[in-house]
Amino acid sequence: MTRPGPDGGRALTPPVRWWQRAVPVGLVAALSVGAAVYALPDEELELSTTRLPQEYVELSLTGPPRAVCGTRAHPRARVRFRLVNRLEQTHTFRYRVTVHPVGARRESVRKRGRVRLEPGESTHVRSRLARSPARAHVVTIRLAQRPEQLRVHCHRQRQQEVST
């Protein structure tokens, strides 16, 4: 860069170094972020920077899916599942196990029950259902007033897949 000198000629000026521009811009940015954070309510800041425990219920099969579908040797469906209370309070869980033949309008078999669990407590539930249908069907375990559920898809060839 050049600039006019005192005698009208051009004098050289040293170039501006990168840090001479970056430091003031960085300071302005840091002060702006600090002011924005300071203006937030304390409650909002705490929610944004701390990890809060999430409440949920664990629901899982404890036996093989083939036992849920039934086999030629054991045509009765045997549903075994585990329930763990990860809520902050004691809760009574109502569950329903249903067998729904594919293409049918209603479930053909239902079993209901309830389990009372303290926070962090778990239990294993066993439920025997009547003879499972020979055609494809779906076995569903649902908890009342909770989103958790398990489904086991049983095909005609007694193959199965599990979906949650």
Q: Specify if 94 maps to a domain.
A: yes
Q: Is 130 contained in some domain?
A: yes
Do residues 157 and 76 both lie within one domain?
Answer: yes
Same domain, 119 and 157: yes
Tokens 């025997």, located at residue: 128
Structural domain of 133: 56-163
How far is it, in rounded angstroms, from Cα 150 to Cα 154?
13
What are the pLDDT digits (tens) for 69-96?
877 777 677 889 999 999 999 999 999 9
Domain assignment present for residue 131? The answer is yes
pTM value is 0.60
Q: Which of 56-65, 82-91, 107-116 has the lowest mean pLDDT?
A: 107-116
Do residues 42 and 90 share a domain?
Answer: no
pLDDT at 163 over 60: no
For residue 100, the domain's CATH number is 2.60.40.10
Average pLDDT, the chain: 80
How many domains are there within the chain? 2
CA distances from 159 to 48, 66, 71, 137, 144 (A): 47, 7, 10, 11, 28
